[in-house]
A and B are shown apart, each in its own frame.
Chain A
Amino acid sequence: MENAALARPSGVAPAIELRGICKSFGPVRANHDISLSIAPGTVHGIVGENGAGKSTLMSILYGFYRADAGEIRIHGQRTAIPNSQAAIRAGIGMVHQHFMLVHNFTVLENVVLGAEDGPLLAPALANARSLLTRLSEEYELSVDPDAIIENLSVGHQQRVEILKALFRQADILILDEPTGVLTPAEAKHLFRILRNLRDEGKCIILITHKLQEILQVTDTVSVMRQGEMTATVKTKDTSADKLAQMMVGRKVLLRVDKTQSNPGDIVLETRKLCVIDAHDVPRLKNVSLSVRRGEILGIAGVAGNGQTELLAAIGGMTPASGEIHIKGQKIRLSGSGADPRVRRQLGIAHVPEDRHRHALVMEFHAWENMVLGYHNHRSFRRGSWFMNTFVIRTDSMERMRSFDVRPLLPETIARSFSGGNQQKIVLAREFSRSPDLLIVGQPTRGVDIGAIEFIHQRIVDLRDAGVAVLLVSVELDEILSLADRVAVMFDGSIIGERDIKDTDENELGLLMAGIAGGPA
């Protein structure tokens, strides 16, 4: 096999070797006949779209699932991994996308949890402390062992996760989308750590969908598509374009067809908009921006820098201070009248970031979801108390058809649709009531590539129809291909605003890291 040859230098047994791994969930083939071999002292990347089977494969490696067929060899030894314990024993450590930390424990307590060397806590913690100090010096992983997790930044929390794995003497380290929540600077630091670890002879598996990272840090890379491993190559022999093609199996449309924007009157204007969360932490600080008819303002930034709160404040889901003007009219930001219902009446359509938590009631039928938020609309009523279910059903059918929702069955429960079709249901609902302003967060998160193009085109169509669009996305590519202007958020503020023609990835990346250099 091609990949086996390339990853096995001079007779050293591979750190990890997979042979013919298969795993199905009912009729869905999540992994099919996957073979892979990685040498010690290698950073190996695995790229693939959402749902390509990356996470399933790693879950099998870490003992969360058992493969239906195939075998795993660790340093040449055939190894069964029925549970996480076995994975840890085999020297496998995993840094999950969502950190597996106890929020009100200290760093030290989190590190020793499950790996204590005696029944009493005090000696176990003391022993761990010295080892932890040694590890953090060795690998540039400095964290205060007595800090409480919830007080640490995500970057530091991630270090704790890596320390946890090293503390358990892992020599195969799996990282699942590790940079999703990091600033570019933090990501750079992470990559330095990973290189240090590799130079110590550890084997690193990096799962990501960001091709740039693969090129930056990996030695070898595998591409997964629809449950199969389509290729394994040396990183220096490939390029982002080639990888992208292998990921989707066809040429990716990188730019959306769109004409020059033709901005009209200001629809949305915020002045010194502030949001303070339940723990009295300011999340949004003096945000002032405006969006005109017929333009798309993109909000870029690393996740968790106030974008969610910005959408929530405009959508009426959270109280705020400062001012919001809609079509020149100042609106209430707290107390009665400051709720999503009133915002909808003002002509604001809202496609929230989190489809499962906000945009849909997953147990509701598609037709019931099609009026969520608009259920009080006069045309859906019968008398003052009742809903006109007949009208709602026929109306839903039409909307689902025009957005190509499959299956075209309004009686289907929302949960049963694929991610892309769920998102189409949301868009069908929000787009088709001729809003003046559309606020939309992560429109293509968890959506397959075919649907992405469709959704992007619809957003541009809406812009061309004279709607003001505020687009929040953590995917810089998405911002670059859709927005007419871009504002970058950092730590709750807008750190810079650019016309899309006058900026590039590098500048925006710096802004996202909070470096506001250059002329504003």
Chain B
Amino acid sequence: MDLTTIVQILDSMMRLSTPLIFACLAGLFSERAGIFDIGLEGKMLASAFFSAATAAVTGSVLLGLLAGLTAATLLAMVHGVASITFRGNQLISGVAINFLASGFTALIGQNWFQLGGRTPSLSGDGRFLPVDLPFVETIAGIPFLGKLYGELISGHTLLVYLALPTVLLSWWILFRTRFGLRLRAVGENPEAVDTGGLSVSALRFQATLICGLLCGFGGAYLSTGMAAGFIRDMTAGKGFIALAALIFAKWRPGYALCACLLFGLLEAIAIRYQNIEIEGIGTVPLQLMQALPYILTVIILAGFVGKAIPPRAGGIPYVKER
């Protein structure tokens, strides 16, 4: 394997990890506040559709992003109303949101564009285009660094560059601000927050809102950054992989980044090598590579790689004791 191949795989890892990072951080905020969210997938899908659809109609990717964020946030609010206001089952609500997004985007997509659920292909200002960082030309001549900088670091879309600072920002918010302290407290012991004179519902709604926004970025990236348009069910399980990454990371932002990069790398390898020949064993089929993130997740979940302890109040609706 030469340097070019490695750089290409890592480059593709960066792109594939980006939606996972956004979704994983989305889940992080929600679950740290005690709201389980298996509807990341649905929120990303809704955002992917509405950002691509809006961008296709208006020709502006920024308007598209705005539409995507709105759609994902609206679904997040549905989840909030169900699980906070009406104290419903958060898992069931998540399932409902996934189906709602899947059915609704396909229904409306066909109705609007008559392209079998696709949106028209985006081009020009309709999508996020690669950004060339400065000095690419200048250091292109330097043997190793030039290639690394020019091909791996430079040339991604805006949202990819946004993903990394978002990790840092999330960490800062959670662990360095008053809001973060309260958010973490409400995920561990909502009663303490309530008796402290704070509103449990308000905090949880805020977390759900942030979750929706971040899912919105992830979804918009899928259809307007990574691809040039929306395809039916294009999230293809990414929301669930992000959820797995969150568990792998034990609900911590830095680890979440690492987990997302790992799963992105796996996907990059699977895409590059359809069938991997391993000497003495034979061919590793494509399907195994595709299933590998899920298999790894199960192994992680089985607790063979350390024990993941979720926030204590996670998944439990808050009811004031009588």
Determine whether A and B are in direct contact in the complex, meaning some CB atoms lie less than 8 angstroms apart: yes
A positions within 8 Å CB-CB of B: 25, 62, 64, 83-85, 87-88, 94, 96, 98, 100-105, 109-110, 112-116, 118-122, 124, 164
Complex partner residue of B322 from A25, A88, A114, CB under 8 angstroms: A25
Chain B residues near A98 (CB, 8 Å)? 191
B301-322 residues with Cβ-Cβ distance < 8 A to A are: 312, 320, 322
Q: Which of B87-95, B178-186, B263-271 contacts A (4 or more CB under 8 A)?
A: B178-186
- What are 10 A-B pairs with beta-carbon distances under 8 A? A62-B195, A85-B198, A94-B195, A100-B189, A100-B191, A102-B192, A103-B189, A110-B192, A114-B198, A121-B176
Chain B residues near A113 (CB, 8 Å)? 181-182, 185, 192-193, 196, 198
Q: Are A119 and B178 in contact (CB under 8 A)?
A: yes
Cα distance A62–B322 when bound, in Å?
A: 13
Indicate if B132 sits at the interface (CB-CB under 8 A): no
Q: Are B197 and A85 in contact (CB under 8 A)?
A: yes
Cα distance A395–B251 when bound, in Å?
A: 52
Cα distance A64–B193 when bound, in Å?
A: 13
Complex partner residue of A102 from B176, B188, B194, B320, CB under 8 angstroms: B188
Q: Are B193 and A101 in contact (CB under 8 A)?
A: no
Indicate if B274 sits at the interface (CB-CB under 8 A): no
Cα distance A73–B18 when bound, in Å?
A: 57
Nearest A residue (CB) for B176: A121
Indicate if B177 sits at the interface (CB-CB under 8 A): yes
Cα distance A88–B196 when bound, in Å?
A: 8
Q: A64-B320, A100-B195, A120-B176 are in contact. List 11 more A-B contacts (CB 8 A).
A: A25-B322, A84-B196, A85-B198, A87-B197, A94-B195, A96-B195, A100-B189, A100-B191, A103-B189, A116-B181, A121-B175
Q: Are B185 and A121 in contact (CB under 8 A)?
A: no
Chain A residues near B196 (CB, 8 Å)? 84, 88, 100, 113-115, 164
Question: Contacts A84-B194, A114-B198: A102 and B179 contacting too (C-beta < 8 A)?
Answer: no
Complex partner residue of A84 from B188, B189, B195, CB under 8 angstroms: B195
Chain A residues near B181 (CB, 8 Å)? 105, 109, 112-113, 116, 121
User: Which size class do B's interface residues fall under?
Assistant: 20 to 34
Nearest A residue (CB) for B311: A104
Give the shortest distance, in Å, between A419 (CB) and chain B (any CB): 14
B157-206 residues with Cβ-Cβ distance < 8 A to A are: 175-182, 184-185, 188-189, 191-198
Cα distance A75–B165 when bound, in Å?
A: 52
Question: Contacts A88-B197, A115-B196, A119-B178: A103 and B188 contacting too (C-beta < 8 A)?
Answer: yes
Cα distance A439–B176 when bound, in Å?
A: 51
Nearest A residue (CB) for B313: A102
Q: Are B188 and A121 in contact (CB under 8 A)?
A: no
Chain B residues near A116 (CB, 8 Å)? 178, 181
Task: Please list the 6 inter-chain residue pairs (A to B) with the smallest Cβ-Cβ separation, ordered nearest first.
Answer: A114-B196, A85-B197, A100-B192, A116-B178, A100-B195, A88-B197
Cα distance A102–B186 when bound, in Å?
A: 9
Cα distance A120–B176 when bound, in Å?
A: 6
Give the shortest distance, in Å, between A231 (CB) and chain B (any CB): 27
Cα distance A242–B151 when bound, in Å?
A: 87
Give the shortest distance, in Å, between A274 (CB) and chain B (any CB): 24
Chain A residues near B191 (CB, 8 Å)? 98, 100
Chain A residues near B189 (CB, 8 Å)? 100-103
Q: Are A104 and B176 in contact (CB under 8 A)?
A: no
Most chain B CB neighbours (cut-off 10 Å) among A88, A110, A113, A115:
A113
Chain B residues near A88 (CB, 8 Å)? 196-197
Q: Are A103 and B180 in contact (CB under 8 A)?
A: no
Chain A residues near B194 (CB, 8 Å)? 84, 100
Give the shortest distance, in Å, between B201 (CB) and chain A (any CB): 12
Cα distance A349–B182 when bound, in Å?
A: 46
B270-315 residues with Cβ-Cβ distance < 8 A to A are: 312
Most chain B CB neighbours (cut-off 10 Å) among A83, A84, A88, A122:
A84
Chain B residues near A64 (CB, 8 Å)? 320
Complex partner residue of A119 from B179, B188, B320, B322, CB under 8 angstroms: B179
Give the shortest distance, in Å, between B24 (CB) and chain A (any CB): 21
Cα distance A122–B180 when bound, in Å?
A: 12
Question: Contacts A84-B196, A85-B197, A114-B196: A105 and B176 contacting too (C-beta < 8 A)?
Answer: no
Give the shortest distance, in Å, between A208 (CB) and chain B (any CB): 19
Chain B residues near A114 (CB, 8 Å)? 182, 193, 196-198
Q: Are B197 and A121 in contact (CB under 8 A)?
A: no
Q: Are B180 and A121 in contact (CB under 8 A)?
A: yes
Cα distance A25–B322 when bound, in Å?
A: 10
Most chain A CB neighbours (cut-off 10 Å) among B175, B193, B196, B320:
B196
Give the shortest distance, in Å, between A51 (CB) and chain B (any CB): 12
Give the shortest distance, in Å, between A99 (CB) and chain B (any CB): 8
Most chain B CB neighbours (cut-off 10 Å) among A85, A88, A114:
A114
B205-248 residues with Cβ-Cβ distance < 8 A to A are: none
Q: Are B197 and A84 in contact (CB under 8 A)?
A: yes
Complex partner residue of A118 from B178, B184, B322, CB under 8 angstroms: B178
Give the shortest distance, in Å, between B253 (CB) and chain A (any CB): 16
Complex partner residue of B197 from A83, A96, A102, CB under 8 angstroms: A83
Most chain B CB neighbours (cut-off 10 Å) among A85, A102, A121:
A102
Give the shortest distance, in Å, between A88 (CB) and chain B (any CB): 5
Nearest A residue (CB) for B178: A116
Most chain A CB neighbours (cut-off 10 Å) among B178, B184, B191, B198:
B178
Cα distance A99–B96 when bound, in Å?
A: 36
Chain B residues near A109 (CB, 8 Å)? 181
Cα distance A78–B213 when bound, in Å?
A: 44
Give the shortest distance, in Å, between B99 (CB) and chain A (any CB): 29
Chain B residues near A62 (CB, 8 Å)? 195
Q: Are A119 and B177 in contact (CB under 8 A)?
A: yes
Nearest B residue (CB) for A96: B195
Chain B residues near A110 (CB, 8 Å)? 192
Cα distance A87–B196 when bound, in Å?
A: 10
Cα distance A325–B188 when bound, in Å?
A: 42
